[in-house]
Amino acid sequence: MSRSYAQTTNVSVDRSSGEIQKMLRSFGAESVMVATRSMKGDLVECTIAFSKERVPVRYRFVTSNDEREERRLWRCAVLLIKSKLVLIDEGISPFAAEFLAWVALPGGQVAGDHLIPQVVAAASGGHFPPLLPGGEDRP
């Protein structure tokens, strides 16, 4: 997949992060934090953190210090958060399912740091049941 979403956006990082904060507050998040921090080299770490029903959630992504790419990735983050909140609001998917991988754990990790490697290992070892009735998956 190409990196074309929001490639030509002129929306500032501040506006995008503000949209995310507003969406999360409207969703009922008990606390919301959006931050950026310079890293070694030409990288910027972006963090979106909030809690809902006392469950702490933290999402991080890294971008280059290139203003255009930073704006583009913040627009992607707006789309990601908005789509998850719509799914929850419409009753299509529960909060826990949408944000499980990002639940903040003691020690600074998120649940996905533990769960994703286990799921990948199980999948590569053929330990999952077939998805389709009849016992076999079809492409």
Q: Which tens digit of pLDDT belongs to each residue from 22-78?
A: 999 999 999 999 999 999 989 999 999 999 989 999 999 999 989 999 999 999 999
**CATH code of residue 104:** 3.30.160.20
Count the domains in the chain. 1
The whole-angstrom separation of Cα 103 and Cα 18 is 22
125-135, pLDDT tens digit by residue? 877 777 777 66
Helices (H), the chain: 13-27, 67-89, 95-99, 111-124
Give a yes or no: residue 101 inside a domain. Answer: yes
Give a yes or no: residue 3 inside a domain. Answer: no
Give a yes or no: residue 88 inside a domain. Answer: yes
**Structural domain range at position 89:** 13-124
The whole-angstrom separation of Cα 60 and Cα 34 is 10
Q: What average pLDDT is seen over the chain?
A: 91
